[in-house]
């Protein structure tokens, strides 16, 4: 039977994984928290090393948002441990989040992380999962392009605000070219609400209204 990768809005699959911080059950280990699972092609590679340093330098900010990090590649746990030690000793950065050792490829196969044209290495994927264990966003990058960590942090902030305030987040928020750091009101669903929109909010038209947080 062909395995289909999970989609946005679906539950993150229940899996038990071996990590640099012991065995964990996902998503249960992070119940009540947001978490980011990201895969990298291989340990001891330059782009992946820059990504790990980038993630770690934003880890405290993410934890302040109630969000955890967990990495993954098909390397063995011994390789992960040695690489994390190398980053600590040579780049003065202590990697504090766990890294999944998926040496059998079981987790990568389940999440669709193996690119058929790139051998057995995992792609650069990101799964953002909410406190209920629901996948809220998925990003895939080619092996040759490192990720933008600030965008991933922005996504966590934007999703949390959208959930809390029942609003939509504009492009390039909080520096949108039209409405700066304001957020978008959901479209009116009836004529009366549409007529009142201009009295309640700032609007370009009844279907495009916005407000400050």
For residues 71 and 40, the answer to whether their CB atoms sit within 8 Å is yes
Q: Which of 4, 5, 9, 3 is closest to 137 using CA atoms? A: 9
Q: Cα separation of 100 and 70, whole Å?
A: 7
Q: Which of 77, 74, 125 is closest to 104 using CA atoms? A: 74
Q: Cα separation of 161 and 181, whole Å?
A: 12
State phi, psi for 4 to the nearest 5 degrees: -100, 135
Which residue out of 48, 67, 203, 209 is catalytically annotated?
Answer: 48
State phi, psi for 163 to the nearest 5 degrees: -65, -45
For residues 51 and 143, the answer to whether their CB atoms sit within 8 Å is no
Q: Which of 75, 42, 39, 41 is closest to 55 using CA atoms? A: 39
Q: Cα separation of 93 and 213, whole Å?
A: 35
Is residue 48 annotated as a catalytic residue, yes or no?
yes
Q: Cα separation of 41 and 112, whole Å?
A: 13
Residues known to be catalytic? 48
């Amino acid at each position: 039977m062909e395995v289909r990768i999970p989609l946005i809005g679906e539950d993150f699959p229940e899996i038990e994984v071996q990590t640099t911080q012991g065995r964990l059950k996902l998503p249960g280990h992070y119940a009540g928290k947001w978490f980011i699972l990201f895969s990298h092609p291989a340990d001891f590679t330059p782009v992946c090393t820059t990504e790990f340093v980038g993630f770690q330098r934003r880890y405290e900010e993410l934890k302040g948002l109630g969000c955890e990090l967990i990495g993954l590649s098909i390397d063995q746990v011994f390789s992960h441990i040695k690489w994390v030690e190398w980053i600590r000793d040579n780049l003065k950065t202590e990697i504090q989040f766990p890294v999944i050792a998926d040496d059998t490829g079981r987790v990568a196969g389940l999440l669709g992380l193996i690119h058929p044209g790139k051998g057995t290495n995992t792609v650069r994927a990101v799964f953002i999962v909410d406190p209920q264990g629901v996948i809220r966003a998925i990003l895939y990058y080619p092996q040759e392009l490192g990720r933008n960590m600030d965008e991933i942090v922005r996504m966590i902030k934007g999703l949390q605000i959208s959930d809390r305030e029942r609003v939509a987040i504009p492009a390039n928020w909080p520096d949108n070219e039209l409405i700066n750091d304001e957020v978008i009101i959901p479209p009116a669903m009836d004529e009366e609400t549409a007529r009142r929109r201009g009295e309640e909010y700032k609007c370009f038209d009844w279907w495009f209204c916005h407000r400050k947080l």
